């Protein structure tokens, strides 16, 4: 039996792209958690993502992200994924 590990990745996004980027990441399916940090490194939002909470918790939080995005120009997204990292495009 194989032991599937998780890994994290960081993305830098502009405020206006924040909500759309988080939506895209969540729809990819292998995401466990998304952390949004502002330019100073403070955690603005920490979203645990699993199938049971998508409709009840995550989608209303995306509306909050759209509101938060107007307050700063840059954000860092830290995405925790399950499974092996995807191979870079050739």
Domain residue extents for the chain: 6-71
Structure tokens at 46: 């920490």
Q: Would you state the pLDDT for residue 70?
A: 66
Q: Would you state the pLDDT for residue 1?
A: 46
Q: Would you state the pLDDT for residue 4?
A: 60
pLDDT along the chain (90 residues), means of 10: 72 84 79 86 81 58 69 81 62
Q: Would you state the pLDDT for residue 12?
A: 92
Do residues 77 and 41 make contact, with C-beta atoms less than 8 angstroms apart?
no
How many Å apart are CA 51 and CA 49, to the nearest integer?
7
Q: How far apart are the first and last CA of the chain?
A: 30
């Amino acid at each position: 039996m194989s032991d599937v590990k998780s890994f994290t990745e960081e993305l830098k996004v502009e405020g206006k792209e924040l909500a759309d980027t988080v939506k895209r990441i969540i729809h990819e399916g292998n995401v466990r958690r998304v952390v949004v940090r502002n330019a100073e490194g403070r955690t603005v939002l920490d979203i645990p993502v699993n199938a049971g909470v998508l409709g009840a918790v995550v989608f209303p939080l995306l509306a909050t992200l759209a509101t938060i995005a107007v307050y700063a120009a840059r954000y860092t997204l830290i995405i925790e994924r399950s499974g092996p990292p995807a191979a870079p495009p050739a």
